[in-house]
Amino acid sequence: MPFTRMCTTKSMLTVEHEGNPSWPGPTIHVHKGDRALIQVHNSGDYGVTIHWHGVKQPRNPWYDGPEYVTQMPIQPGQSLTYEVIFSDEEGTLWWHAHSDWSRATVHGAIVIKPPRETSYPYHTRPDDEHVLVLGEWYNGDVMKNIEYAMKTGGDPNISDAYAINGLLGPSDACPTDESYTLSVKYGKTYLLRIVNAVMNEEMFFGIADHKITVVGQDGAYITPITDVEYIMITPGQTMDVLLTANQAPSYYYIVATPFMDDSRGAPFDKNHTSAILMYTGATRPTTIPSPSLPDSGDRDAASNFTSQIKSLNPADVPTDDIKRILIAVSVKQILCPEHNCSGPQNNRLAASLNNISFQNPTTDILYSYYCNLPLDKDFPNMPPVQYNYTGSDADKYKIPSEGTKALMIDYGANVEIVFQGTNVGNAENHPMHLHGYSFFLVGTGDGNWDPDTSPGTYNTTYPPAVNTIGVPKNGWAAIRFKADNPGVWFMHCHLERHSSWGMSGVIIVKDGEGPDQKILPPPRHFLNCRHK
């Protein structure tokens, strides 16, 4: 459908719901524990899949959505009805396309209300609620953008603007661009459900002259973080915040700006986007105040916020018989035989987990696993070569292998994954996302994770239960979970360029012994295993 932003009109893939094409797409409303059947019909020009980000889909990987992992793309003219099984999630999640870069324009929020006849655990009950989706606008075709970058081996073009609910706010490049307007009444409290659907940047977010209270993240409640002036939210994350309209009735800017913590100047969109908080009955002032947000490289500001996030109640964190996995997260290079690629040193940009740059298979991995077809199950529990991951000589390890390997985990295992950032290529913050699970973020730190000292710094009492976490630049993040959801689950960086370069992997949790510990039977549309 045609959309006009930045004084530019282009055709882009979007979602039409009940006759209305929209960007972002429609919000899905459910209650905790519901089951939703969602029909997706592809009227576009290329294959597409949909992922229900943060929905655990217990025993139901068939409808998780990442292409070539749990399904093949829905082809143009074809339909698929997804069965989305909600379990203990409560709060805000989101859905998005999971095929190449189509998620740039195909995404929307999921609002999961408390069980019927119950309410939120907030001291202040919100009078109303609103969804705010942070996105990116590209003047060009996003699919052609990544296709060209992958062909040449260089960086994809950066976005031309950020958006709040599909509107960019006025800018020097196009003064006629509109701002999303959020209308409030003095004295009322509002629940804002914030989704970061941006492709490649973490974002700071704030509202001029108003402090907010953060009460939820990634479909779970947290200990309220009161009276903050800004949040930092990574691509893939959601946050629920309470806003009380307690300032002089007027107009105030809502602003989102990028946070980019890297070591070698990777290109990123340096713009900001704005919406307007408008008090009912207020007269628009000559000058609308803006919030003072941290600079784009302010690492301390980002960590000062994220370090405050804790679970609402004591968490049931696995502490015994831990299966520990160390995964080195790196931006790397693949050598070009004729040295004519557009990446560093005329090579091809790549990325890896434990020195393996993920390659899409020709048959989706879930099908291969379920049907006992050939599948490489040798993803290593440690980097193949141990070195000073954050040292100055880490670039010696810049060339990865390429492949499609799965990490096998027994049902019921208590798992710890330590994501170790490296100084290979370009050290930066990596938002890592694991499908099929909420996990506990038990610790983060700078430098190399140390098996003797780092676990002593963990928070195993009130760690947040999340599905996407930021691995600090040249640092580490440790997560824990019980492997009680059998299936094939994708694990990847939610910076889209890194995922495209291969910063991805697959975890397979085996079936348990009991009838409720096995993958659900395949759906009716599933093709019979070819060798049976």
In tens, the pLDDT along 270-297 reads 999 999 999 999 999 999 999 999 999 9
Residue 230: what residue type? Answer: Y
Instruction: Please enumerate in sequence order all residues whose Cβ is within 8 A of that of 56, keeping only pairs 6 or more positions apart, or say none.
Output: 85, 87, 88, 89, 436, 437, 438, 485
- The percentage of the chain sitting over the pLDDT mark of 70, rounded to a whole number, equals 99
Q: In which band, very low, low, confident or very high, does the pLDDT at 64 lie, cut at 50, 70 and 90?
A: very high
| Cα separation values, 66 from 153, 187, 221, 226, 245, Å | 23, 44, 27, 36, 40
In whole angstroms, how far apart are CA 272 and each of 78, 175, 268, 428?
Answer: 38, 14, 12, 20
Per-residue CA distances from 375 to 32, 369, 378, 407, 504 (Å)? 36, 7, 9, 11, 16
**Rounded distance, CA 279 to CA 39, Å?**
38
Per-residue model confidence (pLDDT) at position 524: 84
Does the pLDDT at position 348 exceed 50? Answer: yes
Q: What pLDDT is recorded for position 212?
A: 98
User: Exposure pattern of 231-263 as b/e (b: 16+ CB <10 Å)?
Assistant: bbbbbbbbbbbbbbbebeebbbbbbbbbbbbee
Q: What CATH number does residue 470 fall under? A: 2.60.40.420
Distances (CA, A) of 201 to 129, 204, 262, 456, 472: 26, 10, 11, 31, 14
Residue 333 — pLDDT band, cuts 50, 70, 90?
very high
**Tens-digit pLDDT profile for residues 491-522:** 999 999 999 999 999 999 999 999 999 999 99
Question: pLDDT tens for residues 182-229?
Answer: 999 999 999 999 999 999 999 999 999 999 999 999 999 999 999 999
- What residues are paired with 130 via a beta bridge? 192
Predicted TM-score (pTM) of this structure = 0.97
Q: How far apart are CA 311 and CA 319, in angstroms?
A: 17
Contact in structure between 196 and 203 (CB atoms under 8 Å): yes
Structural domain contains residue 373: yes
Q: 302 pLDDT exceeds 50?
A: yes
Residue 338 has what pLDDT? 82
> What DSSP assignment string belongs to 31-94?
ETT-EEEEEEE--SSS-B-EEEET---TT-GGGS--BTTTBPPBPTT-EEEEEEE--S--EEEE
CB-hemisphere CA count at 13 Å for 418? 25
> What is the spatial distance between Cα 278 and Cα 261, in angstroms, rounded to a whole number?
33
pLDDT for 158: 97
Q: Is residue 432 part of a domain?
A: yes
Task: Give whole-number Cα distances, 199 to 213, 255, 263, 424, in Å.
Answer: 26, 18, 20, 22
Residue 304 placed within a domain:
no
For the chain, the C-alpha Rg in angstroms (whole number) is: 22
Residues 6+ apart with CB under 8 A from 498: 331, 351, 430
Query: Closest Cα to residue 107, out of 129, 131, 140, 130?
Result: 131
Full domain range(s) for residue 417: 323-509
Q: Please, which pLDDT band fits residue 337 given cuts at 50, 70 and 90? A: confident
Using CA atoms, how far residue 276 sits from 181, 253, 255, 340, 498, in Å, is: 5, 5, 9, 47, 33
Answer whether residue 417 is part of any domain.
yes
**Distance of CA 459 to CAs 307, 441, 455, 480, Å?**
11, 8, 9, 11
Model confidence at 170: pLDDT above 90: no
Amino acid at 423: N
| Closest by CA position to 199, among listed 295, 105, 297 | 105
- Predicted local confidence at residue 532, as pLDDT: 42
* pLDDT for residue 173: 86
244 found inside a domain = no
pLDDT in tens, 81-133: 999 999 999 999 999 999 999 999 999 999 999 999 999 999 889 999 999 99
State the pLDDT at residue 530: 66
Question: Which residues face 276 on adjacent strands?
Answer: 181, 253
Residue 464 lies in a domain: yes
* 420 located within any domain: yes
On whether residue 311 sits in a domain, the answer given is no
Averaged pLDDT score across all residues of the chain: 96
* E strand residue ranges, 140-296: 161-164, 181-184, 189-196, 202-207, 212-217, 220-228, 231-233, 238-244, 251-259, 273-279
What are the start-end ranges of the H helices in 352-418?
365-370
**Of 269, 96, 64, 101, nearest in space to 196 by CA:** 96
**Tally of structural domains, the chain:** 1
